Structure 1
Amino acid sequence: MAIRKNTKRFERLRRALATSSPDLIFDETTIASVAQDKFLLNDRNTFRLTDMLKVYMENNNILTLQAEGDADRLIVTTAISISSSYEVVKIVGEDIDLMVLLCGLSRDGGDHILSTNRPNNNILYL
């Protein structure tokens, strides 16, 4: 995972150097004045938005966890840890790493199903 983390960090740095975005001061009532991709190029904007969303969700009794770096492992380990309390636990994402981690880290022999939202795709059962 260290290689992947460094690769992601390098890619973010490369994109940030290619185009810059100003620091924006905003709150939950602010109407966006820049494109989302440009806004998120600035790490300080991303941090403030993430922090604001986390506070909003916690104020509405939604459990929030913040990963340092890549969140894939945190997503999977959280799903596994709560799976004994629920009949069904779903992980929704676009990254195949989630399925790889789920298969590698789960020990209970539960059913793992991978599906896509693309038309005409079959469901793969593992």
Structure 2
Amino acid sequence: MWNLIGLKPKAPTETHFVLDGGSLIHRLPWAKGATVDTICMTYVNYVNNHYTDATVVFDGYPSVPTTKDVTHFRRTKGILSPKVNFNNDTPIKTKKDEFLSNSENKQHFINTLGEKLKDGHVQVIHAEDDADLKIVLTAIEKSKQHTTTVIGEDTDLLILLCYHSKDAINKIYFKSEAKQNTHKIKIWDITETRRKIGPLVCNILPFITRL
């Protein structure tokens, strides 16, 4: 359905970007043996080069199970890394997915990366757990002053944008970045998508997609 509704050929040139931090972390490869500081600066440079005006919203990883634990477990194929005590100068010698499979490692890394992004003049928001709703509400808040583009891969973001954005003041877009093995980028104009789907369907989308 999403491939047929609301697709646009390109994103607006002047926009505020709201990035899914989890998608961002998994988008860039880590050089084997690179230090935490080097890895973090790779992300800072990437964001500053691709998204000149951006807010990054990260998931939080509390000690209790969260709604994304199954996704994280599936991504690592059941491999769990031990906790690693690290600082900015620590070289990461394990594979990225294995290292991040430990929620304490991941939260520590997110906190470190968040500070580096702030130092690089990128706005950062930390959700308490799953960030999807926080990403969408941040985009709606930013749309009061700017055209806004959400960058992510999770279809739940598109569903939540259709559900929550009826009162958005400026345009909101959802952009799914091209993966490494494809050059295809998908962009949805949320206002146009809501118009084509209709308000009734938009209001029940979060519920019917979980049946």
Whether TM exceeds 0.5 here: the answer is yes
What percentage of aligned pairs have identical amino acids? Answer: 29
> Are the equivalent residues in 2 in contact too, given 1:103–1:112 (CA < 8 A)?
no
Q: Does 1:23 pair with 2:83?
A: yes
Q: TM-score, normalised by structure 1?
A: 0.73
Please show how residues 91-106 of structure 1 align to structure 2 within 5 Å: 91-106=150-165
Q: Secondary structure at the match of 1:90?
A: strand
What CA distance in whole angstroms lies between the structure 2 residues aligned with 1:105 and 1:57?
A: 28
Give runs of ≥4 in structure 1 deviating > 6 Å: 13-16
| Aligned match of 1:66 | 126
Structure having the larger proportion of residues in helix: 1
| Aligned match of 2:94 | 34
Match of 2:145 among 85, 96, 100: 85
| Aligned match of 1:56 | 116
Structure 1 residues 89 and 38: alpha-carbon distance in aligned structure 2, compared to 1, 3 A threshold:
same
Structure 1 residues 53 and 123: alpha-carbon distance in aligned structure 2, compared to 1, 3 A threshold:
closer
What is the total number of aligned residue pairs between the two structures?
A: 121
Quick one: which amino acid aligns to residue 79 of structure 2?
Answer: T
Structure having the larger proportion of residues in strand: 2
What CA distance in whole angstroms lies between the structure 1 residues aligned with 2:83 and 2:184?
A: 43
* CA-CA distance at 1:49 after TM superposition: 0.3
* CA-CA distance at 1:108 after TM superposition: 3.5
RCO comparison, higher one (Cα < 8 Å, 6+): 2
Provide structure 2 residue ranges, at least 5 long, that are not aligned to the other structure.
1-64, 194-211
Provide structure 1 residue ranges, at least 5 long, that are not aligned to the other structure.
none
Q: Secondary structure at the match of 1:64?
A: strand
Deviations 1:33-90 (A, max 9, x none): 100111011111111101111222233332211112211110010011011212x211
